Amino acid sequence: MILELLANAISTGVLLGCIYAALALGLAVSFGLLHIPNIAHPVFVVTGAFAATVFNAMGFDPLLVSLPLALVFYGAGIAFFEFYSRIYEKRGESDTMQALTLFFGVSLVIETVLVMQFGADQRSTDVDYVGQSLTLGPVVMPYRLLIPALVAPVMVTALWLYLKYTYAGIAIRAVAHDERALSVSGIDPGWIKRHAFGIAAATAAISGAALVIVGPIDPFAGRMQIGRAFAVVILAGMGSIPGTLAAGILIGVTEALVGAFGSPSWAPAVAFTMLLATLAFKPSGLFGAAR
Amino acid sequence: MSLRENAMDWAVRRTGRTPRATRSLVFALGCLAVLALGVVLTRMVDNPYVFFAGYVVIQYVALATGWNVLGGYAGYINFGPTAFYGVGVYMAAFLVKAMGAPLPVAIAAAGVAGALLGLAMGWMTLRVQGVYFAIATIALVVMAETVIHNIDYLGGASGLALMPPQAPAWAGGQPQFMLMVMLAIAVAFVALARWIEISAMGRGLRALKASEIAAECAGVPTFRLKLIACAVSGAMLAIAGAPYVYYASFIEPGTAFSLALSLNAIAMPLIGGKRSWVGPVIGALLLATVQQAASVTISSELNILVVGVVLILFVAVAPDGIVGIVEKLTRRRGA
Amino acid sequence: MSGPILEVRGVEQRFGPFRALGPVDLVLHRGERLGIIGPNGSGKTTLINCISGTLRPQEGRVLFDGVDVTDVPPHRRARMGLSRSFQIPKPFTGMTVLENLLVPIDQISPSADAEDRAIAVLESVGLQRRAAHEAGDLSQLELRKLELARALVVEPKVLVADEAMAGLSEGEIDDVLAILTRLSGTGIAVIMIEHIMHAVMRFSTRIVCFETGRTIADAAPDVIAADPLVQKVYFGEQTRH
């Protein structure tokens, strides 16, 4: 009985953790690699989720429709980065912190626009597999968790391969390391950063669709996820893409265990505690290079 | 006239500044005048709505001023002012429920709790990079709310009705008394903020805001100074929350940790101007008064949308807020 | 008290697999004017960071006035009498020039006449007219002067000037050199890191040359100028300028 509970808690935790990793993946690029503390990223994800519900209502599959949406988000991300860098990049590095207030304002505005457009109520998607489950011995995995959770390893692997083997991907990692090194090699670091920020925004479309399959969400759902998303990125170690998956799963499993054996009402505190503990005792994270 | 006197004289003429002692005297008299005005108004006005609205506006002056000690002078953005405010509210609620504590005790206890929370947050996050502090404060609100949800004694998620001690007879009623209390707190906060600003501590904070390394190499103990600022700012935000229990008699996590409160406490100094004590006061008076006046006519969503857009505009175009714009205009005219 | 004012013993610093500095030994005597030269990336700034404490060396010790300060944070070293200026000026923007000088005075040697002292130092570098201006409004030359004024307003025992003359005209270089020479006359030991050879040669009583993190020469200016190794790694490169 207790073993069954444990097995189900762990499997749920792993699935939830994968979804957390998907949420945080864009942040691992914008914050982890570009050092832009985009606290509006979770709101981007929620926007992606709402976009998915709109197309789902027309009969499209939310995950499939999120692929073309990702292109739109890519463009929007680039435009937003232009706006951001016009204001801040030229003012110098000490203003990274002041940039937080800009992202804060932007996330408020997006949230409110969502509320005014869709109302403050929860929205959900309608897909065939919701309600069905995969049963493996004592472990029951509902498809509404399993399918979106599978998105994360796919995204993480794709992004990791992209950063490791493509020309642009290597350039992005080079920017993360040292901007000047790149300008010597003749690549425009401005373009590379725009491109990377666009990719970060694009991931929000896909992970948003994944999020809304898991369960209904309201326009303020991003707020709960800010702490989690940053906890994943920092616990993984700044800029570590595969680490994102491991850190997400670690947080997801811990939350599920706290929920199963403690009280679910304490689950929201898990990510925050892990975030603080990482900052206080191992700021380089699990897989990050010492900084 | 010696060269040195010449330079000092030139500096004084350039800024149009009177000697510091005179300015401080004028400031002190101004504080007293504001307090006296508050007392007179509570005697003369009959409409209780004025007291309730006034309380909210003045509470924002206190919150914005408290936030600015860390966010403005040191440049460390605290995204969770309501975490501290809420801790102040619930500290007071606990003391009222447990022992019917009088207001001064609740205020003192809230101050200690806020300072300790600020110290703990600072100690854990400030040694890495400034950005991490800000991120941790976002999550702090969720954490504080989760903790309160799990304390049945304090009403958990559903809230708690309380019987706080009544106002003394001379005050002329609870709303009048609470308004005066909040006014006294706000005036004390503004005076404290001004003192920090012109003291060595304020110069140290502003220096480390410009460059932590240069400040450190100029002898500024940056880590310690940031910790002190965290503690002071945390204490101020929590103290601003303590009287709420006596003002409202009913508290719940939704209001104690309200998003609108956080948003305003951050937006007001940024819109008013975060470099001096005047900015948060102007920002709070302006924004809160408009919000109170407009609360009947526009929805709370639209309210947040407007504040958000104005915030983005100021952050993008006028990072020194209204005070910065005014300074720029007067300097241009003077030149 | 005698003995060297500053001593660096076997200091080493690696960034990943790349050895940026060391092991380096260096001695600075009281009142000395020491020039440090070397090509870009030879470890000069890394050494200064280890001396001022913004970087903790992975190996070796730093002694200031006979005290081991390897584990002492920068602000305490500043209070012990170690001042530095930065290669890229780091003014306290948002504050006036006068306030910029009050920051170190507040922390290191507060007094009732702090503003007078600050004004006096501003005069000595020719910035008194700018006292009430915001530091962010200064020109490049004025920023370099402010950088120096802020470092020396607390009357340090050692001043480390990191490329205080980069980007200045010949006349402006003479200005800064005059300030540093006057300072050295009051008994302050000065370390000058500089690319402008004639300035270092004129100013220093001794010069150390760095190359790939190591000292390759340590001698009087005329000896250094004649050293074939120094000429090869340094002057060869400098002829472009």
- Are A101 and B307 in contact (CB < 8 Å)? no
Taking only the tens place, the pLDDT of each residue in A143-162 is 889 999 999 999 999 999 99
Closest partner CB to B136 (pick from A87, A116, A279): A279
What is d(CA C139, CA A285) in angstroms, rounded to the nearest whole number? 42
Q: Which chain C residue has the Cα nearest residue B197?
A: C95
C48: pLDDT confidence band, cut at 50, 70 and 90? very high
> Which of A20, A90, A108 to mutate: most B Cβ within 10 Å?
A108
Taking only the tens place, the pLDDT of each residue in B267-308 is 999 999 999 999 999 999 999 998 888 777 777 788 888 888
Strands C6-15 and C18-28: antiparallel
Q: How far apart are the first and last CA of chain A?
A: 46
Instruction: Give SS3 for A140.
Output: strand
* Count of C-beta atoms within a 10 Å radius of residue C217: 19
Instruction: Give SS3 for B183.
Output: helix
- Are C107 and B220 in contact (CB < 8 Å)? yes
Find the DSSP H helices in chain A. 2-27, 41-57, 62-87, 96-118, 143-165, 167-177, 179-184, 189-214, 221-236, 241-261, 268-281
Chain A residues with CB-CB distance to B147 below 8 A: 269
Strand partners, C9: C61
Question: What single-letter DSSP state applies at residue B276?
Answer: S
Q: Could you tell me if C60 lies within 8 Å of chain B, comparing CB atoms?
A: no
Residue type, C54: T
Percent of chain B exceeding pLDDT 90 equals 63
Q: Which chain B residue has the Cα nearest residue A291?
A: B128
Q: Tokens standing for B132?
A: 């991490």
Q: Could you tell me if C74 lies within 8 Å of chain B, comparing CB atoms?
A: yes
What is d(CA C238, CA B157) in angstroms, rounded to the nearest whole number? 72
What's the mean pLDDT in A247-262? Answer: 94
A89: pLDDT confidence band, cut at 50, 70 and 90? low
- Would you say C220 and C205 are in contact if contact means Cβ atoms under 8 Å apart? yes
Residue type, C227: D
> Which of A80, A104, A291 to mutate: most B Cβ within 10 Å?
A104
Please name which of B114, B120, B116 lies closest in space to residue B136, comparing C-alpha atoms. Answer: B120
Task: Give B125 to chain C, closest Cα distance, Å.
Answer: 19
CA distances from A160 to A89, A186, A242, A245, A276 (A): 27, 24, 7, 11, 27
Phi then psi for A155, rounded to 5 degrees?
-60, -45
- Would you say C154 and C109 are in contact if contact means Cβ atoms under 8 Å apart? yes
Instruction: Give SS3 for A135.
Output: strand
Taking only the tens place, the pLDDT of each residue in C103-155 is 999 999 999 899 999 999 999 888 999 999 999 899 988 999 999 999 989 98
User: What pLDDT sits at residue B182?
Assistant: 96
Indicate the domain borders of chain A. 2-229
Q: Tokens standing for A51?
A: 């976009």
Peptide bond into C23 cis (omega under 30): yes
What's the mean pLDDT in A6-18? Answer: 93
- Are A230 and B301 in contact (CB < 8 Å)? no
Q: Could you tell me if B215 lies within 8 Å of chain C, comparing CB atoms?
A: yes
Taking only the tens place, the pLDDT of each residue in B121-166 is 999 888 777 788 888 898 899 899 999 999 999 998 899 999 888 8
What's the mean pLDDT in B312-333? Answer: 87
- Would you say A59 and A267 are in contact if contact means Cβ atoms under 8 Å apart? no
Please name which of B223, B222, B262, B236 lies closest in space to residue B124, comparing C-alpha atoms. Answer: B223
Q: Tokens standing for A285?
A: 């994270």
Sign of CA dihedral B321, B323, B325, B331: negative
Residue C176 lies in a domain: yes
Rounded to 5°, angle at Cα C146 from C140 and C150 = 150
CATH number, domain at C79?
3.40.50.300
Task: Give B104 to chain A, closest Cα distance, Å.
Answer: 32
What is d(CA A120, CA A208) in angstroms, rounded to the nearest whole number? 17
Q: Tokens standing for A63?
A: 């995950």
- Would you say B119 and B85 are in contact if contact means Cβ atoms under 8 Å apart? no
Q: How many CA atoms lie within 13 A of C5 on its CB side?
A: 22
What is d(CA A162, CA A172) in angstroms, rounded to the nearest whole number? 10
Q: How far apart are the first and last CA of chain B?
A: 25
The alpha carbon of C223 is separated from its chain's Cα centroid by a whole number of angstroms, namely 23
Rounded to 5°, angle at Cα C106 from C105 and C110 = 75
- Are C73 and B221 in contact (CB < 8 Å)? yes
Q: Could you tell me if C116 lies within 8 Å of chain B, comparing CB atoms?
A: yes
What is d(CA A239, CA A237) in angstroms, rounded to the nearest whole number? 6
What is d(CA B20, CA B195) in angstroms, rounded to the nearest whole number? 12
User: Residue C68: pLDDT above 70?
Assistant: yes
Q: Tokens standing for B241?
A: 């929350």
Please name which of B51, B61, B32, B87 lies closest in space to residue B239, comparing C-alpha atoms. Answer: B87
What is d(CA A177, CA A167) in angstroms, rounded to the nearest whole number? 15
A95: pLDDT confidence band, cut at 50, 70 and 90? low
Which helix (H) or strand (E) element contains residue A141? Answer: strand A139-142
Q: Which chain B residue has the Cα nearest residue C55?
A: B213
Max CA distance (Å), chain A: 63
- Would you say B251 and B160 are in contact if contact means Cβ atoms under 8 Å apart? yes
User: Residue A208: pLDDT above 80?
Assistant: yes
Total of domains in chain C: 1
Taking only the tens place, the pLDDT of each residue in A126-137 is 888 777 888 888
User: What pLDDT sits at residue B4?
Assistant: 52
What's the mean pLDDT in A212-234? Answer: 90
With tokens 């940053």, the residue in question is: A230
Q: Could you tell me if C110 lies within 8 Å of chain B, comparing CB atoms?
A: yes
CA distances from B247 to A231, B52, C57, C160 (A): 37, 9, 57, 59
Between A45 and B249, where is the model more confident?
A: A45
- Are B218 and C104 in contact (CB < 8 Å)? yes
Indicate the domain borders of chain B. 51-259
What is d(CA C151, CA B255) in angstroms, rounded to the nearest whole number? 50
Taking only the tens place, the pLDDT of each residue in B107-125 is 999 999 999 999 999 998 8
What is d(CA C98, CA C232) in angstroms, rounded to the nearest whole number? 45
Please name which of B98, B97, B96 lies closest in space to residue B106, comparing C-alpha atoms. Answer: B96
- Would you say A30 and A200 are in contact if contact means Cβ atoms under 8 Å apart? yes
What's the mean pLDDT in A193-217? Answer: 94
Please name which of B81, B138, B146 lies closest in space to residue B114, comparing C-alpha atoms. Answer: B81
Taking only the tens place, the pLDDT of each residue in C93-108 is 989 999 999 999 999 9
Q: Could you tell me if B210 lies within 8 Å of chain A, comparing CB atoms?
A: yes
Chain B residues with CB-CB distance to A102 below 8 A: 312, 315-316
- Are B217 and C91 in contact (CB < 8 Å)? no
Q: How many CA atoms lie within 13 A of A126 on its CB side?
A: 7
- Would you say C127 and C142 are in contact if contact means Cβ atoms under 8 Å apart? yes
Q: How many CA atoms lie within 13 A of A36 on its CB side?
A: 27
- Would you say B179 and B54 are in contact if contact means Cβ atoms under 8 Å apart? yes
Contacting subunits of B (3+ beta carbon pairs below 8 A): A, C
Chain B residues with CB-CB distance to C123 below 8 A: 3-4, 7
A197: pLDDT confidence band, cut at 50, 70 and 90? very high
What is d(CA B94, CA B99) in angstroms, rounded to the nearest whole number? 8
- Would you say C93 and B209 are in contact if contact means Cβ atoms under 8 Å apart? no
Residue C123 lies in a domain: no
User: What pLDDT sits at residue C240?
Assistant: 42
User: What pLDDT sits at residue A99?
Assistant: 84
What is d(CA A217, CA B258) in angstroms, rounded to the nearest whole number? 20
Which region holds residue C170: left if phi is over 0, alpha if psi is between -120 and 50, else beta? alpha
SS (H, E, C) chain C: CCCCCEEEEEEEEEECCEEEEEEEEEEECCCCEEEEECCCCCCHHHHHHHHHCCCCCCEEEEEECCEECCCCCHHHHHHHCEEEECCCCCCCCCCEHHHHHHHHHHHHCCCCCHHHHHHHHHHHHCCHHHCCCEHHHCCHHHHHHHHHHHHHCCCCCEEEEECCCCCCCHHHHHHHHHHHHHHHHCCCEEEEECCCHHHHHHHCCEEEEEECCEEEEEECHHHHHHCHHHHHHHHHHHCCC
Q: Which chain B residue has the Cα nearest residue A96?
A: B131
- Would you say C83 and C156 are in contact if contact means Cβ atoms under 8 Å apart? yes
Residue type, A48: G
User: Residue C239: pLDDT above 50?
Assistant: no
User: Residue C187: pLDDT above 90?
Assistant: no
What is d(CA B243, CA B93) in angstroms, rounded to the nearest whole number? 10
